[in-house]
Amino acid sequence: MQVSAETARRFLVARQLLSPARSLKGGRKAVLEVFHRFGSIVFDPLAVAGRNHDLMLHARVAGYEPAWCDALYERREIFEVTNKALSFVPSTEYPWFRLGWGRKGPSFHATILADNAGVADRVLERIRAEGPLSALDFDSEHGAPKDWFGMPENVVRAVLESLVVAGVLGLARRDGNLRYYDLVERLLPAELLAHEVPVREQVRHKLLSRYRAHGLLAAGGAGDTFARIAPPAATPEYPGRNELRVELVELGALVPVDVEGVRGKRFVLADELALLEAPPEPPPSVAFIAPFDALLWDKPLLASLFGFEYVWEGFFPPEKRRWGWYVLPIVFRDRLVGRIEPRIERAENGVQIVDLWWEDGFDLRRTDGFVDAMRDALRDYLRFADAGTLDWPSHLRAEKRLFAAAA
């Protein structure tokens, strides 16, 4: 099957529930619908402009409130796992995510438990007796494990994470960045835990989850698109991603397609073929896209299909940033037209627009429907941020006047 670049863009924006943005109605039910459709959503606790999963849901669900997702988490309707990165998945899919990966893979975490068996026993004994506990509820013990940045890590924290990978513990709740752990049998229904899924099927399901989240991925992924699933080729412990992708095509779950101007085969969900064949014309709608939104995973595709260069600069030193710290790409209709860096200032009950950048050749004043759509997006973002004012820097006076009706 072959499709034009325009068709592929329209399809991708529509299947990402952004055509139009913020249009899925139903409150918490709509949030759960997004989870079931995409399979998982990347979680990140950093809340400069809103937490990543909240921003992603805000872009798709009408009137979204962060408390809706928090309630689903507290009621165990969604569960925290490692799937590409820390992610929320529907709890009904837990049996397919039982085989944990963690930060560095199952072997690493199994070694942590083997080398620190005494610590693991003490941790489990206290959690069984006292209920959910965090790493701060234990005396720190430092040893061989290293954190994300290669520094010595609290052994208790490493053991807690490894017990999650082993399927013994789960995340009971979060207090900001602080995670509280409990026995998994106290977090999920017994019938769900009793559902055993073969390893091959679990890994295949995880692979499919990446295609569900994005909608138009290739066989190989840019960056870490297919990280923390299994190696490309089979090993004694795991089936390979490449053979599992072939299985997904043979089973009729994925369909290969060619896209004009894009190198290599792309794969779409079989259930979405009809949408690919006749995607709707996108209405004048603006969405602000979260940094770890699945739409942004495949940077080479963004470049070839949208003509948009995306770089996450959150970890760059300020002098090396071309744009900013927590920058959100702007989607209008089926194009990426710019970037915005909003910052929620809780103490001032406001949102500060740190900066705006428009793509070369994009004329916001002459683009039919854009100004009104941008005003709507800013107005809805203020509501999402629970803020009363929208503050602009002096160098954006023209944009402030143009979008004044949003404040």
Element (H, E) at 78: strand 78-83
* pLDDT band, very low/low/confident/very high, at 237 (cuts 50, 70, 90): confident
> For 77-101, what is each residue's pLDDT tens digit?
999 988 888 899 999 999 999 887 6
- CA–CA dist 407, 404 (Å, integer): 6
SS3 assignment, position 378:
helix
Chain mean pLDDT for the chain: 92
Buried b (16+ CB within 10 A) or exposed e, 286-321: bbbbbbbbbbbbbbebbebbbebebeebeeeeeeee
* pLDDT band, very low/low/confident/very high, at 143 (cuts 50, 70, 90): low
Q: Could you give the residue range(s) of every CATH 3.40.630 domain in the chain?
A: 286-406
Element (H, E) at 153: strand 152-154
Least confident of 314-318, 389-393, 403-407: 403-407
> For 14-27, what is each residue's pLDDT tens digit?
999 999 999 999 99
What token pair was written down for 330? 């702007």
Least confident of 40-54, 148-162, 250-264: 148-162
Backbone angles phi, psi at 337, to 5 degrees: -110, -10
Amino acid at 340: I
Place of tokens 């995973």: 297
Better pLDDT: 306 or 109: 306
Q: Could you give the residue range(s) of every CATH 1.10.10 domain in the chain?
A: 106-192
Angle at 272 between CA 266 and CA 276, to 5 degrees: 65
DSSP state, 323? S
Distances (CA, A) of 392 to 14, 342, 363, 402: 31, 10, 20, 12
DSSP strand pairing (350-358 vs 389-391)? parallel
What token pair was written down for 91? 């709890």
Contact 173, 132 (CB under 8 A): yes
Give the right CATH number for 106-192 from 2.30.30, 1.10.287, 1.10.3470, 1.10.10: 1.10.10
Backbone angles phi, psi at 89, to 5 degrees: -130, 155
Amino acid at 159: V
**Per-residue model confidence (pLDDT) at position 148:** 42
> For 194-236, what is each residue's pLDDT tens digit?
999 999 999 999 999 999 999 999 998 666 888 888 888 998 8
Classify the C-alpha dihedral 259-296-369-393 as positive or negative.
Answer: negative
For the chain, what percentages of helix, strand and coil (3-state, to nearest 5) are there?
40, 20, 40
* pLDDT band, very low/low/confident/very high, at 407 (cuts 50, 70, 90): low
What token pair was written down for 78? 């969604």
Distances (CA, A) of 289 to 61, 310, 326: 13, 11, 11
Nearest alpha carbon to residue 287 among 248, 218, 338: 338
**Per-residue model confidence (pLDDT) at position 405:** 67
Largest Cα span, the chain: 68
Place of tokens 């428009």: 358
Q: Please spell the DSSP secondary structure of 180-196, one letter per residue.
A: EEEEGGGTS-HHHHT--
**Per-residue model confidence (pLDDT) at position 223:** 65
What token pair was written down for 219? 């066989």
> For 266-308, what is each residue's pLDDT tens digit?
999 999 999 999 999 999 999 999 999 999 999 999 999 999 9
Classify the C-alpha dihedral 61-20-337-366 as positive or negative.
Answer: negative
Name which CATH class applies to 286-406: alpha beta
**Per-residue model confidence (pLDDT) at position 101:** 66
SS3 assignment, position 47:
coil
Q: Is the pLDDT of residue 322 over 60?
A: yes
Q: Is the pLDDT of residue 406 over 70?
A: no
**Per-residue model confidence (pLDDT) at position 343:** 97
What token pair was written down for 269? 């969900």
> For 36-86, what is each residue's pLDDT tens digit?
999 999 998 889 999 999 999 999 999 999 999 999 999 999 999 888 888
What share of the chain has pLDDT > 70, as a percent? 95
Query: What residues pair up with 336 in beta bridges, in sequence order?
Result: 331
Classify the C-alpha dihedral 305-306-312-316 as positive or negative.
Answer: positive
Place of tokens 């438990």: 113
Q: Please spell the DSSP secondary structure of 225-281, one letter per residue.
A: TTTTS--SS--SSS--HHHHHHHHHHTTSEEEEEETT--S-EEEEGGGHHHHHSPPP
- CA–CA dist 398, 170 (Å, integer): 50
**Per-residue model confidence (pLDDT) at position 220:** 80
**Per-residue model confidence (pLDDT) at position 221:** 67
